[in-house]
A and B are shown apart, each in its own frame.
Chain A
Amino acid sequence: MSERNDIEDRNVSAHYRALERPEPPESVDRAVLTQARDALKKHANKVVHTSPARRYAPFAIAATVLLSFGIVTQISRTPEFEAPVFDSDTQPVASGRAGALEDGALEGKLEQDEAQGQQDALDAPVEETRVDAQAVIAESIKGAAEEPAAKRSSVEPEGEVATGGSSHPGAPAPEPRSDQPAARARAAAPASAPVSDAELEKVSAAPTGDASMTGIDDKSDAGERQQRLSQAHAKAAPVPEQWLEQIQELWDSGDRDAARTEFERFLEMHPDYELPENFPLPEDKTD
């Protein structure tokens, strides 16, 4: 007998089908069907409709995230504040721009700018350079006298002398435009002293607010800035002799405190400068 016939046997199946064929009792049928319908009714009653607040929660979260992102983006594109100018050697030029000095690429670019400016200054005749520097300083003093003192105090940090104004009591520091580092350098320069290398370097290293905050490389702005920097370097090239002359003038005019202060600053800026033999040191000039 084959395997299939070993499992299936028609005679066996016929005998089984000849047995009674009972059906479940009616009562069981009714009980099962009733239970099935009741289960659906109970489930329908258990269904809790979600409130509108729950339905709209994902949309609210998404809208909040988008709004927050937009606000952050907008804030990051807006300049935070006017970058204050600090004293020459001791402080970074702008608090928000300190990181920019650490940026190697930007530093390299600014070094190129500075080199270009120095080259322009070297190319220019000495007399012309001096005349230009004097014009720049005179212009800055004039602009500073016109600026209200209150505006200056609101910009500069407390305790920080950004422009060396202590040596020029009658001339408050001018308020340069924040997007013009060269102008700011001119404005920050003391009326009686030319702008030093370090000061110029730091001022020029400070990029414009927009570029530093957003990281957007505005090529046209960069070119213009480079041009202004070159002009500033050319016009405000350090001329120790001129600075000494102005110190001498201050001394002669009677403003000896200012002359002493300026001379101290001069020594800080040019400690290795050999003073002319006929230049009397302020310390030696006694009243």
Chain B
Amino acid sequence: MGQLATITQPFCATQHARLRPRFASPLRQRMLRRMTQRVGDRDLMVRYGKGEADAFDLLYGRHKGPLYRYLMRQCGRDDVAADLFQETWSRVIQARHRYAPTAKFTTWLYRIARNCAVDWARKQRVSLSLDDVPEPAAEREPTPEQAAITGESLHRFRHALTELSFEQREAFLLREEGGFGVGDIAAITGVGRETAKSRLRYAARKLRAALAEDTETLDE
């Protein structure tokens, strides 16, 4: 826990306030500002590779949600997503010494997750059906924009998402969950930039068409 305190030490506001009079010089303030900056994923992964377990805890906490959702949307089943999720992190742990700090950690992480998903899809040869998609759960307060989305449109959207091809859904999920650009998506999926862009375009077009049908149905 001491190492975790070392990593998250700058976030202790009270300590910062208590030390402020003694750190009045610009140099001290710059040092404090640097300490309060968010530690990058690369540094955390490197620290974990050197033996700091707390660094992995921070890293895992940052990326577990988006990664799990990416896998769950991609395979469509909670149990499979949990297995793939655990397999992904297991590979990360095993490959901690091979991680090169020059590579972006999220790109590296999602490439591993994507490989796990592709392996699973090849084994299963399954096509996701509507029944596999879990029902929405109201976990957070919806934004006004989200509140305008009716249950029916959401259902159609979810269905349209499952109707996408594996590659198109993959590109869309990487964009929405991982926040990746076209270049990163191309790097993760191992295709050219134009191919990744084309997949994104087709995915957005199909989803938009599904929502337009929903609107037309309501208008009728």
A residues at B contact (CB < 8 Å): 3, 6-9, 11-25, 28-29, 31-33, 35-37, 39-40, 43-44
Contact = CB atoms under 8 A, between A and B. Distances in A.
A24 B79 CA distance: 10
A20 B94 CA distance: 31
A15 B78 CA distance: 21
A133 B120 CA distance: 110
Contact of A40 (B53, B65, B137): B53
B176 A20 contact: no
Interface residues of B, number: 47
B154 A33 contact: no
Contacts of A14: 143, 145-146, 149
Given A6-B204, A22-B68, A37 B211 contact: no
B76 to A, nearest CB: 12
Contact of B69 (A22, A29, A35, A36): A22
A43 B207 CA distance: 47
Given A20-B134, A36-B56, A36-B93, A11 B86 contact: no
Contacts of B140: 21
Dominant secondary structure of chain B at its interface with chain A: helix
Dominant secondary structure of chain A at its interface with chain B: helix
Given A12-B211, A21-B139, A43-B51, A28 B86 contact: yes
Contacts of A28: 82, 85-86
A21 B60 contact: no
A7 B201 contact: yes
Given A6-B201, A21-B140, A22-B134, 10 more contacts: A9-B204, A11-B208, A13-B176, A21-B65, A24-B64, A29-B60, A32-B89, A36-B48, A37-B53, A39-B96
Contacts, number: 107
A89 B18 CA distance: 103
Interface of B: 48, 51, 53, 56-57, 60, 64-65, 68-69, 72, 78, 82, 85-86, 89-90, 93-94, 96, 134-137, 139-140, 142-143, 145-146, 149, 153-154, 157-158, 161, 172, 176, 182, 197, 200-201, 204-205, 207-208, 211
Contacts of A16: 157, 161, 172, 176
Given A6-B204, A15-B154, A24-B82, A40 B149 contact: no
Contacts of B78: 22
Contacts of B161: 16
A18 B69 CA distance: 13
Nearest to B94: A39
Contact of A9 (B68, B182, B208): B208
A15 B197 contact: no
A22 B80 CA distance: 14
Given A13-B176, A22-B69, A32 B134 contact: no
Q: Which 5 A-B pairs have the closest CB atoms?
A: A18-B146, A15-B157, A24-B68, A32-B89, A20-B136
B82 A25 contact: yes
A221 B72 CA distance: 95
Contacts of A33: 56-57, 60
B134 A15 contact: no
